[in-house]
Structure 1
Amino acid sequence: MFNFTPLLGAQSASAASQSLLEFDGGIKILIDVGWDEGFDAQKLKELEKHVPTLSFVLLTHATTAHLGAYAHCCKHFPGFSRIPVYATVPVVSLGRTLLLDIYASTPLANAIIPPEALGEFNNARTPNILLQPPSPEDITKYFSTINSLKYSQQHQPIPAPHTPPLSGLTVTAYSAGHTLGGTIWHIQYGMESVVYAVDWNQAREHVLSGAAWLGGGSSGSEVLEQLRRPTALVCSSKGTGLAASARQRNTRDDALLSLIRETVQKGGSVLIPSDSSARVLELSYLLEETWQAETTKSGANASLKEAKIYLASRAASKTMNSLKSMLEWMEEGILKDFEAASAQEENQQQQQQQNRGRGQHVNKGDDEKQARHPFEFRHITILERKSRVNRMLATPEPKIIVASDTSLEWGFSKDAIEALASDERNLIILTERVGEPVQQQKGLGRHLWELWHERSQASAQELASAAIINLSNNQVDIQSTRIAPLEGKSENELYQQYQARRKQLASTTQGEGGTATAEADAREEGSETSSESSDDDDIDNQQQGNIIQASAIAQHKKNKTELTDAELGINILIRKKTVFDYEVAGKKGREKMFPYVAKRRRADEFGDMLRQDEYKRADETDQVAGEALRDANSKQLNAIGQKRKWDDQAIRNVNGVAPKRTRPDGTADDEPSEDEEDKIQGPSKVIFGTATININCRISFVDFSGLHDLRTITMILPLVKPRKVILVAGEADETTELKAKLDDLLKDESKEGESIISTPTIGQTIDASVDTNAWTVKLSRSMVRKLQWQNVRGLGVVAITGRLEAASLNEPSEQLDESAANKKAKLDASTSASAAKDPDKMDTTPILDVVPTNIAARSTAQPFHVGDLRLADLRKLMQASGMTAEFRGEGTLVINGTVAVRKTGTGKIEVDGGAYALADPRSADSGTFFKVKKKIYEGLAVVAGG
């Protein structure tokens, strides 16, 4: 049985994606933990209900729509961080930098506490209180626990604690295109084969290779065998209504560059909203290579050289640094060019060394020819601070700004459009259709997309033509957000009461472990003013206490003196200095023991963890003559062992000015930062405002979304031949249109006119199991003794030829001894008597018995082979046997240079090279053919009914 339920992203304008897959035995798989630009915590309520029963989680793309809520769930959903998560290496690395960018850019990512969660404390004047966001260290920790997989690597995941075993379930990742490390997941469980392909792209791009349907690109002719004929194919319908010609690489690149060149020649600037970790790689690579080519031009042909390119994102440096170790995940052309340039650079260095040895002059201009990583930019300036972005926007010269985010609701793209919208020479290029958060007001990005879409259609222009729409005095209301600390006693008490309710609910549903997690979270959130502190070990071990005390402590954690003696309980012995006795008569649990918590010994795979402070040298401590340096002003300049700071006079230069340190984006370390004004410690709230801007600039659209189009999906699906198709991740109108077209295309696969295509809505469960007819029978004792099981990849296989008998007939007992026959007769008598009293309890299951000898000869079945042989496995077997085995051509394995093994599209194995068996028997080639066939048969099970 296989059930599919879209939690988010089905027939919806929101781009968020969350899918739940359920198999027999209580196995639940969550694919993607997406969010949209609204960051509404209410949309995650359905996901929170399934957290205790999830077996593991799979992630597909490093975008907000696919993992935007991952850190939020780890932070605020009890038990979610203990669920195993699987993804590719680029998705893990780029997803981490994406969330760092999001939480540093918008306070809405913290998530507003839903009003209904406040219960009876809610009123009309309730402020928009924010949850405590995960820190950068928390985000790094959450992503470090994700299990990374490679493409085509079959893996048997480990289920979460307290969930059923997976019983041989395997997951395999295949390239999906669209983003670096983007994944098509293949899930195999028993007879169920599920392919989850949401947001894929078959075409090759500058940085990304195509999807793996045809072997990793469009050059193949057949679909990969592992992805062929699945039980169910979950596919996205997003963007299938757009013109296919607009997505061709050459067409879109020329359209984008022509728009930029035209705008720069008029003295205007270009704003390109993009994400900060996925599609921005394709854009930045194209612009860098274009500007690099412009340096060799002169005159009017080099019009782009005067314009500067800026990449504005708060985590751009981290993103580009993480790409340095991901060349093997990129398109093959990039890797080959980099290897060729590296080899050329090595030859040049050797030549320079020889010239130096001969005393010849070395040209310093060769440094420009050195091999560099594709994302080591020479023409793109990275901006990570708001102050630098504002200074860049204030400059009058033409510029190209690639800024996060596509929705224009957060990130530097929102600041850029406010600065550029008033000049009619400027141009905003939308690179993908912007989604719309459900049940929220329309965002600026969605508004501009609809304006362009409507006016371009009204002017009879195709969507692929990169039409430019002039907006004159178009006023748009944009939403502004400002974070502020909670004010007054009422707001703080409201937040504390919410926290107490959450901790009580967690402790009730999860027992002592939930209480420990609740208390740890309570101490973690806003506990800076607490009068007592404890380390993480003490918090982790404080797993006892009742719900009332945990709630009271969380509610009054900022003022311990308000707790009554009854609320303190046994903790009164350590909270009050004048109390030395406590009545334990009639108490239970921890109320009968002194409140002492032993420290837990922390260890890793190498043994006990060491404390670095205990092994510091004397010159590394902040002490002089055994006295601590409490006052920073009293430090001596040249005291032995004193650690000097950057602002110390001891390291100032001769002019009395301390040297400045620079950050990765080029700003000085002591430069005043506008970003730090919004950082508030402790509970906070968000204040919404509305601002009106006049848009006089121009807008256009060039499709850089990197998604499959209607032509591609209608070509791939007939080759895949899925038994059922589930369409998700698209708006309602395009999903309906795509279903109508696929019904005509896949009508041969349907039975009796039934459609094999399902279009569920959010929360609707679809039964996508294989249509099979199953019957239940009992095997006779004679039949059980005759069975000879064979193992094929963990499955028991046996062929049975038998005769079906009615349940009322007794099994033949001539083969039983006298005692066994008597026992069986008594058992049958008692069974008949009980069945006569209650006919409903009578067992009507038929019995499968052996075929009598007089008709056995006429019912013997022919032997057949069961199993699946992979050529890669056969290659390893032949190499282990001392033979040479290598792939030549496409899908052909050659052993010893004489025998060729091929696998057809239907799974049939063809072995060529039998002519060598007639050669000289003393030749080594004569036995290769038979050895290969023997190894093939050893990998299969030969079964036959007898």
Structure 2
Amino acid sequence: MFHFTPLLGAQSESPASQSLLELDGGVKILVDVGWDEAFDAQRLEAVEKQVSTVSIILLTHATIEHLGAYAHCCKHIPLFTNIPVYATTPVVNLGRTLLTDLYASTPHAASIIPLSSVSGSPASDASPNLLFEAPTPDDIASYFARINPLKYSQPHQPIASPFSPSLGNLTITAYGAGHTLGGTLWHIQHGMESIVYAADWNQGRENLLPGATLLSGGQEIIEPLQRPTALICSSKGAERGESLLRKDRDATLVSLVRETIAQGGKVLIPTDSSARMLELAFLLNETWREGLDGLHADTYRTARLYMATRSAAASVRYLQSMLEWVEESVRAEAEAAMTKGKGQGDINNPMDWRFIKMLERESGVQQALMRSKPCVLLASDASLEWGFAKQAVQALASDPRNLVILTEEVAAVDPLRKGLGKQLWEAWQTQTRNSSGASGAKIVSADGMTVDFRQASTAALNLDETALYETYAARQRQLHSTLQGDNTLVDPTATDVLDPQDEDESSDSDEEDEDVEHQGRALNLSAQLTQQSQKRNKSGAGALSDAELGVNVLLKGKTTVHDYDVRGKRGREKLFPFVAQRQRGDEFGDAIKPEEYLRAEERDAIEGVDMRDGSAKQNSETAAVGQKRKWGETAGPKGRRGEKQAPGNKRARTEGGKPRAPDDIDAAIARATGERGKRGGAPPTTEEGESDEDEESDYEPDDAVPSGPQKLVYESRTLDLRLRIAHVDFSALHDLRALLMIVPLMRPRKLILISGEESETQRLAAEFRKLRYGREEEGSGMEISTPRVGEVVDASVDTNAWTLKLSRALVKRLTWQNVKGLGVVALTGRLGMGVVSRQNEDEGDTNKKKKLKLSSHGREDETASKELLRPSSSDPNAKELAIPILDLPFPSTTNSSSSSLAANTISRVTQPVHVGDTRLADLRALLRSAGHEALFSGEGTLLIDGSVVVRKSASGKVEIEGVGLAQGFDEVRRAVYGGLALVAGV
């Protein structure tokens, strides 16, 4: 059984991709957790409903369309982090940098909480736009650290989630998909189902990225991907024209860049922040390397290259550690450059990106765009909705010399409004459609065009919004704790039974007296409470219901409650909410406070504060004698407590708990040191020979991290454009020609089209139907399905399978052989019709008997075959169900002569067969252990002792050839047959 359900991205303008595969035995596989630039949490409701039954999760590409919602689901969907996730190493690393850049660039990525989830009523026009709590960089790192990395062509049997049934013999294998570094085609094998999930693949290789590993050598599909029972393929690109060759595409982009910077203009190339940006950066870096010695050396020497994303350095660092995933020629050149010795001359290292400067701060992007010299800016993101590219368009809009190069089609993800990128894309499409002229890249002018866009920011909540948010947070804690099977986190007010004045005093005693079982839970609970919720609970129950209060309903309920059911409760829920206030002391009695015994001169020495005055509160910057410091604080001079260091910012300083602006000396040091050496080597010099590095400073004070709940505030703006727009297709996706060539070679039994707009999907389905009807004589017909979002497709290979029974006599003669965990047997039998008699359930007969009526030898029970369910002639209340039964080919009651004749006839028809698959790598290791010399001499060819050749074709056929009187030929043949199971006929 195999059912497929697209959760997102089927016949839709949204490029997001989410798919659910349901296999036999209740096994569910979620492929991709994609999102789009709308960041709408309501589009993830289908995933949230299926989480409790999902077995494993597979990720295909490190793009927002395929894993943009992964961190959000890990943080806000209960049980999501319990599901094992599998992806290739580049998808894990680049996905981490992508989401880190996303959440650091825009508050909209955190997503708006649906008003129905907050108030329990349908959403209204007066939505407060409350934001989910955004995952921190540490959270994102921990989420991606949970992903199990895989290599290409590595069959793997995954581990199921705790709430999933057994996976049985499920095997997943990743194959290269091109398009992005580490992009994956998934092959899923489960029983008789062989499923290939191919979303967003590219067969052609690029400068840095290899192509999809679909073909083996010539025009044959690699063996594991041949004849799948179901092929799930994206329909993107079905309406796009034939893609340019890689050399023509690169030359077009380079010519546009060179012409623009030669005229003194600036070039903006918006793209994603990790996967496709690496390909573009590699191409431009190589262009600058070669151009400095060519005809246009002065042009390249004047302009600068920038890579603007908040995780640029991390992406490049990950790339340099994943050379085995890049294109073969690039890998070989980089390895040769890294292993060269002194005196061997200069060898170009393609991984040395010394011509590209990384910009990870907004101030750095602003300074780069304010330079009078031309530059090329690779900025995130392609939709111009949330990354540095949106800031760059605003800075470049007023100069007609500037150029924006769109590298892919921009989708409209919000039906109510068009984003900035979509408006530029439609402007280019409209003008190029109405114009006719020379071929090549068409540049259009946006002079006089006005675009509208929104600027997102955050703001603090008012009292009413705070009450709504806290109600939502309490419900979420209730939901999380219930699904996790632990009721200790249900009560968000459990610690409020303590006296606030004695909170510090009781904390130390709790550490000594608290049960070990409850220590971790108490810490988790206290960490979840915010200062606002404490104030609210101090004044009353607030917006919490009795169910949310839990056992505290006895103290803080809206009505008087005298009883509470504690059966089945755990932790704090099983005890009355009362904590005795204990006097703080030590083993000698009451605790002694040293500040009460200070002399007058000692009191004056500590900044004039009288430590004996218990009513006077100590200054937050003053450390009293004997007082403990809080976690994260360091001791300062003169007894002062040191300031907390901001994580990740060694230069952060505070004054009174607030960030302090840098002094002039700090700014001078930052300008002098910069980030030289960490940004890819020395900067190029200008024509006068002076470096312009001092014009740009990467120093920017870290923004204060907002504390507490936030809401999203939009500011509408308009922008007058005078710049130019061009388009060069760098999406690196399959087009109609590639689809019509590759898919028929795979010969899938069923084809399911996803990830495309409605027009693209319908056109591609029509083209495949024409192709199928034209090749009916070749038997290449396939069933085509075009589901919509939420539509279930029954794609089982056993749709027309029939159930039969084996007779007892036949079962006793079966000899099973174990082949890779499967039981295999070859048999020949006679198929007859049996009848099962079933009594009506109304009779209440507990001793129901099944009566098998075998038909006579050599005849078919025509009556049973015509009426599968009929009343029995002996008992009108009983019904007979016809079931086919496979029996011995000859009856045991016949004479010996006829039996021997039948047996001889069957033996001549059914011969023993070899079952299994011979892997040349295993055969090579086996022969080497036996003392033979075994070498690979080409793809699918193994040479043994220089005289015996073992070849394995793409179809799996193994051939053994010997040269002359080859020694060891028999031994090689026995080794080949030894890896197979000999299945004898019955």
* Range of TM-score over shorter length: 0.7 to 0.9
Q: Specify whether residues 929 and 402 from structure 1 end up closer, same or farther in structure 2 by C-alpha distance, changes over 3 A only.
A: same
**2:637 corresponds to:** 635
Deviation at residue 301 of structure 1 after TM alignment: 5.1
Q: Specify whether residues 809 and 89 from structure 1 end up closer, same or farther in structure 2 by C-alpha distance, changes over 3 A only.
A: closer
* 2:348 aligned with 1:347: no
**1:619 corresponds to:** none
* 2:328 aligned with 1:332: yes
**2:763 corresponds to:** 737
Residue type of the partner of 1:265?
A: A
**1:609 corresponds to:** none
Deviation at residue 530 of structure 1 after TM alignment: 14
Tell me if structure 2 keeps the 8 A contact 1:202–1:708.
yes
Tell me if structure 2 keeps the 8 A contact 1:15–1:436.
no
1:456 counterpart (417, 432, 448): 432
Alignment of 1:109-188 (within 5 A): 109-120=109-120, 123-188=124-189
**1:63 corresponds to:** 63
**1:253 corresponds to:** 250
Q: 5+ unaligned residues in a row in structure 2: which ranges?
A: 557-561, 580-621, 655-661, 680-692, 838-846, 855-869, 892-898
Q: Specify whether residues 260 and 859 from structure 1 end up closer, same or farther in structure 2 by C-alpha distance, changes over 3 A only.
A: same
**1:713 corresponds to:** 739
Deviation at residue 709 of structure 1 after TM alignment: 2.0
Deviation at residue 563 of structure 1 after TM alignment: 4.6
Tell me if structure 2 keeps the 8 A contact 1:884–1:895.
yes
**2:446 corresponds to:** 471
TM-score with structure 2 length normalisation? 0.78
Q: Distance in 1 between matches of 2:140 and 2:694?
A: 25
Tell me if structure 2 keeps the 8 A contact 1:900–1:912.
yes
**1:614 corresponds to:** none
Residue type of the partner of 2:760?
A: E
For residues 166-224 of structure 1, give each alpha carbon's deviation from its aligned partner in whole angstroms, at most 9, with x where no partner exists.
Answer: 11110001111111111111111111111111111111111111110114xxx544211
**1:759 corresponds to:** 786
Residue type of the partner of 1:347?
A: K
Moved more, 451-460 or 55-64: 451-460
Deviation at residue 428 of structure 1 after TM alignment: 0.4
Q: Specify whether residues 587 and 839 from structure 1 end up closer, same or farther in structure 2 by C-alpha distance, changes over 3 A only.
A: closer
Deviation at residue 589 of structure 1 after TM alignment: 3.8
Q: Specify whether residues 629 and 23 from structure 1 end up closer, same or farther in structure 2 by C-alpha distance, changes over 3 A only.
A: closer
* 2:407 aligned with 1:431: yes
For residues 342-392 of structure 1, give each alpha carbon's deviation from its aligned partner in whole angstroms, at most 9, with x where no partner exists.
Answer: 343x132xx8xxxxxxxxxxxxxx9xx5765x3442111111111121122
SS where residue 104 of structure 1 aligns? helix
Q: Distance in 2 between matches of 1:530 and 1:13?
A: 58
2:969 counterpart (900, 924, 929): 929
Tell me if structure 1 keeps the 8 A contact 2:836–2:851.
no
1:491 counterpart (465, 471, 482): 465
**1:264 corresponds to:** 261
Deviation at residue 503 of structure 1 after TM alignment: 3.4
**2:896 corresponds to:** none
Alignment of 1:309-324 (within 5 A): 309-324=305-320
Deviation at residue 434 of structure 1 after TM alignment: 1.2
SS where residue 7 of structure 1 aligns? strand
Q: Specify whether residues 633 and 755 from structure 1 end up closer, same or farther in structure 2 by C-alpha distance, changes over 3 A only.
A: closer
Residue type of the partner of 1:747?
A: Y
For residues 90-137 of structure 1, give each alpha carbon's deviation from its aligned partner in whole angstroms, at most 9, with x where no partner exists.
Answer: 100000000000000011110101122234465542310000011111
Number of residue-to-residue matches in the alignment? 855
Tell me if structure 2 keeps the 8 A contact 1:519–1:554.
no
**1:387 corresponds to:** 363
Deviation at residue 460 of structure 1 after TM alignment: 2.9
Q: Specify whether residues 936 and 770 from structure 1 end up closer, same or farther in structure 2 by C-alpha distance, changes over 3 A only.
A: same
Tell me if structure 1 keeps the 8 A contact 2:363–2:698.
no
Q: Specify whether residues 809 and 153 from structure 1 end up closer, same or farther in structure 2 by C-alpha distance, changes over 3 A only.
A: closer
Q: Specify whether residues 304 and 833 from structure 1 end up closer, same or farther in structure 2 by C-alpha distance, changes over 3 A only.
A: closer
Alignment of 1:676-691 (within 5 A): 676=703, 679-691=705-717
**2:934 corresponds to:** 885
**2:883 corresponds to:** 845
1:702 counterpart (713, 728, 731): 728
**1:420 corresponds to:** 396
Q: Specify whether residues 742 and 569 from structure 1 end up closer, same or farther in structure 2 by C-alpha distance, changes over 3 A only.
A: closer
Q: Distance in 2 between matches of 1:543 and 1:628?
A: 19
Residue type of the partner of 2:237?
A: G
For residues 275-332 of structure 1, give each alpha carbon's deviation from its aligned partner in whole angstroms, at most 9, with x where no partner exists.
Answer: 111000111011111111122236x554222111111111111111112210111011
Moved more, 718-727 or 784-793: 718-727
* 2:816 aligned with 1:776: no
Alignment of 1:177-576 (within 5 A): 177-215=178-216, 219-246=217-244, 248-297=245-294, 300=296, 302-344=298-340, 346-348=341-343, 369=346, 372=349, 374-460=350-436, 465-487=440-462, 489-507=463-481, 510=483, 512-513=485-486, 515=487, 541=521, 556-563=533-540
SS where residue 214 of structure 1 aligns? coil
Q: Distance in 1 between matches of 2:574 and 2:489?
A: 23
For residues 562-610 of structure 1, give each alpha carbon's deviation from its aligned partner in whole angstroms, at most 9, with x where no partner exists.
Answer: 35699877679999xxxxxx9999877455547899xxxxxxxxxxxxx
Q: Specify whether residues 302 and 682 from structure 1 end up closer, same or farther in structure 2 by C-alpha distance, changes over 3 A only.
A: same
Deviation at residue 842 of structure 1 after TM alignment: 4.0
Q: Distance in 2 between matches of 1:670 and 1:395?
A: 12
Q: 5+ unaligned residues in a row in structure 1: which ranges?
A: 352-365, 576-581, 598-621, 811-823, 918-924
**1:48 corresponds to:** 48
Q: Distance in 1 between matches of 2:934 and 2:30?
A: 40
For residues 412-454 of structure 1, give each alpha carbon's deviation from its aligned partner in whole angstroms, at most 9, with x where no partner exists.
Answer: 1000001101111111000111122153421111221122122
**1:794 corresponds to:** 821
Q: Distance in 1 between matches of 2:712 and 2:417?
A: 17
Tell me if structure 2 keeps the 8 A contact 1:12–1:438.
no
Q: Distance in 2 between matches of 1:201 and 1:884?
A: 39
Moved more, 584-593 or 193-202: 584-593
Deviation at residue 802 of structure 1 after TM alignment: 2.2
Tell me if structure 2 keeps the 8 A contact 1:432–1:701.
yes
Q: Distance in 2 between matches of 1:94 and 1:31?
A: 18
Q: Distance in 2 between matches of 1:37 and 1:530?
A: 49
Deviation at residue 863 of structure 1 after TM alignment: 2.5
Tell me if structure 2 keeps the 8 A contact 1:790–1:796.
yes
**1:922 corresponds to:** none
Q: Distance in 2 between matches of 1:792 and 1:262?
A: 64
Tell me if structure 2 keeps the 8 A contact 1:407–1:446.
yes
* 2:903 aligned with 1:856: yes
* 2:86 aligned with 1:86: yes
Q: Distance in 1 between matches of 2:441 and 2:213?
A: 30
How large is the Cα RMSD of the aligned pairs?
4.4
**2:982 corresponds to:** 942
Q: Which has the higher helix share?
A: 1
Q: Distance in 1 between matches of 2:199 and 2:983?
A: 39
For residues 628-682 of structure 1, give each alpha carbon's deviation from its aligned partner in whole angstroms, at most 9, with x where no partner exists.
Answer: 689989605999xx99x97999xx99x99996586667999998747616x4211
TM-score with structure 1 length normalisation? 0.81
Deviation at residue 46 of structure 1 after TM alignment: 0.8
